[in-house]
C-alpha cells in the first residue's frame, strides 16, 4: 500500500514542534543548530531582489496595450491600491490595540546584547528616496522601493515598445516563474530552518516566545473580520449593488479552495468561474482584473505585513511614530504588489518590509513555523479583494449582468 507523503505545511509543523522539544531539553545548548536557521534566512534573502525585479516588471508589462486598457486599468489598479492601503490601516489599528509584541524582549536573537533601532524614514523622505539616482547601487544596497519604482518604469517602457517589447516582457515573465520555482525549493528547507530557529529561541527564552506569535494570529484574524464588515460588505452592497446573500452563497466556494491551497494564483480557475457564472461579471473584464489581482492585490497579506511590522517593532522596543505609520502604508502597498501569489510568498515580502523599515529579521523564521494558520486567512481575503474590486469596476463599466436568483440557472 502506497503511503501518502506529508505536505510542506505538515513538515513545517513537525519542525516547529521538534524545535520546541529541542529547545526545552537542551536549553542554551540548542544554539548549536542555529546556523541551519541562519542559512535558511540567508536563502530567503537571496531571493528578494531578483523576485521583486522580475515579477513587478512582468506584471506591469502584462497589462498590454495601455491605450485600450487605460480606463479599466486605472480603475482596477487604483481600487487595488486603495483597498490595500485601507487593509494596512486596519492591520496597524488592530495591532496597536492588541499589542502582540509588548512585554517581550528578543534582542539577544539578533546576536547583539542590545539592538539599537535605526531611524524610521519620514513620508517625504520615503517618497524622495523611491526614485533612484543609480540603479546599480539600488540593487547592490537592496533598496526595495527604488527597485520597485525602476521595475514599474521598465514594465511601462516594454508596453510602449509594443511588439518589439513583447519578447523581452515574456523573458521577464519566464524569469519571474524561475524565481517562484526557486522559492518553492527554498521553502522545502523551511522545516529544518524553523526547527533550528525555534530551538534556539525556546532554548534562550522558554515557552514565553509563543506569547507574541499567538497574539499575532489573533491580530490577523480580528483585522480580517473588520476588513469584511467595514470594507467588503459596503463595496458589494453599495458600490457593486449586488445582493449580499447571493454574494456569500458564491464566495464561499472560493474560500474553500483558497484556504486549502493558500495560493491566489492556484485558485484562479475557481475564482474566475464564480466571478463570471455566479456574479455575472463579463469575462472580458475578469480575465484581466483577476490574474492582475493575484499578482498585485494582497488585502489579507497587507494586514499580516502591518501586524508583523508592529510585532517586530514592539519586540525590539522601536517606537512607531505617525509618520512611520504612513511610511509603512506606502511601503506595504508597493511591496505587496510584488508578492507572488504562491504559498510562502508572504514570508519573502515580510523580509523585504522589515529590511526597509530597518528592523531585525530573526523573528521571520519563527513566524514561518505558524504561518500556515495566517496564510489561510491571508489568501482567502487576498482573493476576496480581487473578486470584490472586479465586481465594483464591472458595475461602473456596465460589465455585470443582473444576478440570477439562487436555484435558477
The CATH number given to whatever domain includes residue 293 is 1.10.3860
pLDDT digits (tens, 9 = 90+) for 182-240: 877 877 887 888 788 778 877 876 766 666 778 888 999 999 999 999 999 999 999 99
pLDDT of residue 399: 87
| pLDDT class of 246 with cuts at 50, 70, 90 | very high
Closest alpha carbon to 313 in 261, 364, 357, 371? 357
Using the predicted structure, report yes or no on whether residue 356 has a pLDDT greater than 60.
Answer: yes
186 vs 36, residue with greater confidence: 36
pLDDT of residue 77: 85
pLDDT of residue 409: 44
pLDDT digits (tens, 9 = 90+) for 117-139: 444 455 566 677 778 899 999 88
- Model pTM score: 0.67
pLDDT of residue 130: 76
Compute the average pLDDT of residues 19-31.
Answer: 87
| pLDDT class of 379 with cuts at 50, 70, 90 | confident
Exposed, middle or buried: residue 166 (CB in 10 Å: 0-12, 13-18, 19+)?
Answer: middle
Compute the average pLDDT of residues 76-100.
Answer: 93
Question: Considering the chain, what is the average pLDDT of its residues?
Answer: 80
Whether residue 402 lies inside any domain: the answer is no
pLDDT of residue 79: 94
pLDDT digits (tens, 9 = 90+) for 141-194: 877 668 878 887 888 888 888 888 888 988 988 988 888 788 778 778 878 887
Whether residue 263 lies inside any domain: the answer is yes
Whether residue 5 lies inside any domain: the answer is no
pLDDT digits (tens, 9 = 90+) for 49-85: 787 788 768 767 776 666 655 777 788 889 999 999 9
Counting the structural domains of the chain, the total is: 1
pLDDT of residue 236: 95
Closest alpha carbon to 384 in 239, 281, 250? 250
pLDDT of residue 19: 86
pLDDT of residue 266: 62
Using the predicted structure, report yes or no on whether residue 86 has a pLDDT greater than 90.
Answer: yes
Using the predicted structure, report yes or no on whether residue 108 has a pLDDT greater than 50.
Answer: no
pLDDT digits (tens, 9 = 90+) for 392-402: 999 988 888 86
Whether residue 403 lies inside any domain: the answer is no
CA atoms within a 13 Å half-sphere pointing along the CA-CB vector of 310? 30
Whether residue 351 lies inside any domain: the answer is yes
Using the predicted structure, report yes or no on whether residue 389 has a pLDDT greater than 90.
Answer: yes
Whether residue 408 lies inside any domain: the answer is no
Structural domain range at position 273 = 10-396
pLDDT of residue 111: 40
Torsion of CA 291, 297, 303, 306, to 10 degrees: 130
| pLDDT class of 303 with cuts at 50, 70, 90 | very high
Q: What percentage of the chain has pLDDT greater than the value 90?
A: 21
pLDDT of residue 223: 96
Whether residue 277 lies inside any domain: the answer is yes
pLDDT of residue 232: 96
Q: Cell numbers at residue 321, please?
A: 511614530
Whether residue 2 lies inside any domain: the answer is no
Amino acid at each position: 500500500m502506497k503511503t501518502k507523503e506529508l505536505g510542506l505545511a505538515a513538515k513545517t509543523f513537525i519542525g516547529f514542534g521538534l524545535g520546541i522539544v529541542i529547545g526545552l531539553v537542551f536549553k542554551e545548548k540548542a544554539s548549536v543548530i542555529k546556523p541551519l536557521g541562519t542559512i535558511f534566512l540567508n536563502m530567503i534573502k537571496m531571493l528578494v531582489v531578483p523576485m521583486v525585479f522580475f515579477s513587478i516588471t512582468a506584471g506591469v508589462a502584462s497589462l498590454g496595450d495601455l491605450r485600450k486598457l487605460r480606463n479599466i486599468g486605472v480603475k482596477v489598479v487604483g481600487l487595488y491600491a486603495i483597498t490595500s492601503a485601507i487593509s494596512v490601516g486596519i492591520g496597524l489599528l488592530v495591532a496597536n490595540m492588541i499589542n502582540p509584541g509588548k512585554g517581550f524582549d528578543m534582542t539577544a536573537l539578533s546576536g547583539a546584547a542590545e539592538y539599537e533601532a535605526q531611524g524610521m524614514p519620514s513620508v517625504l523622505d520615503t517618497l524622495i528616496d523611491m526614485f533612484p539616482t543609480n540603479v546599480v547601487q539600488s540593487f547592490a544596497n537592496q533598496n526595495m522601493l527604488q527597485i520597485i519604482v525602476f521595475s514599474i518604469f521598465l514594465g511601462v517602457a516594454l508596453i510602449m515598445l509594443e511588439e518589439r517589447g513583447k519578447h523581452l516582457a515574456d523573458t521577464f515573465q519566464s524569469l519571474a516563474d524561475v524565481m517562484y520555482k526557486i522559492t518553492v525549493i527554498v521553502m522545502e528547507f523551511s522545516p529544518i530552518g524553523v526547527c533550528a530557529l525555534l530551538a534556539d529561541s525556546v532554548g534562550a527564552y522558554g515557552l514565553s516566545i509563543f506569547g507574541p506569535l499567538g497574539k499575532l494570529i489573533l491580530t490577523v484574524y480580528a483585522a480580517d473580520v473588520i476588513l469584511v464588515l467595514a470594507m467588503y460588505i459596503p463595496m458589494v452592497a453599495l458600490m457593486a449593488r449586488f445582493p449580499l446573500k447571493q454574494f456569500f452563497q458564491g464566495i464561499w466556494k472560493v474560500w474553500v479552495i483558497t484556504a486549502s491551497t493558500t495560493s491566489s494564483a492556484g485558485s484562479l480557475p475557481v475564482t474566475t468561474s464564480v466571478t463570471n457564472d455566479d456574479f455575472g461579471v463579463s469575462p472580458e473584464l475578469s480575465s484581466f482584473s483577476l490574474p492582475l489581482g493575484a499578482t498585485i492585490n494582497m488585502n489579507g497579506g497587507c494586514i499580516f505585513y502591518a501586524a508583523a511590522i508592529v510585532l517586530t517593532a514592539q519586540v525590539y522596543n522601536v517606537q512607531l511614530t505617525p509618520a512611520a505609520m504612513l511610511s509603512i502604508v506606502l511601503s506595504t502597498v508597493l511591496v505587496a504588489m510584488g508578492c507572488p501569489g504562491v504559498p510562502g510568498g508572504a514570508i519573502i515580502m515580510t523580509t523585504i518590509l522589515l529590511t526597509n523599515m530597518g528592523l531585525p529579521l530573526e523573528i521571520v523564521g519563527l513566524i514561518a513555523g505558524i504561518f500556515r494558520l495566517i496564510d489561510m486567512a491571508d489568501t482567502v481575503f487576498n482573493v476576496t479583494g480581487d473578486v470584490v474590486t472586479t465586481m465594483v469596476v464591472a458595475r461602473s463599466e456596465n460589465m455585470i449582468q443582473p444576478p440570477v436568483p439562487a436555484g435558477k440557472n
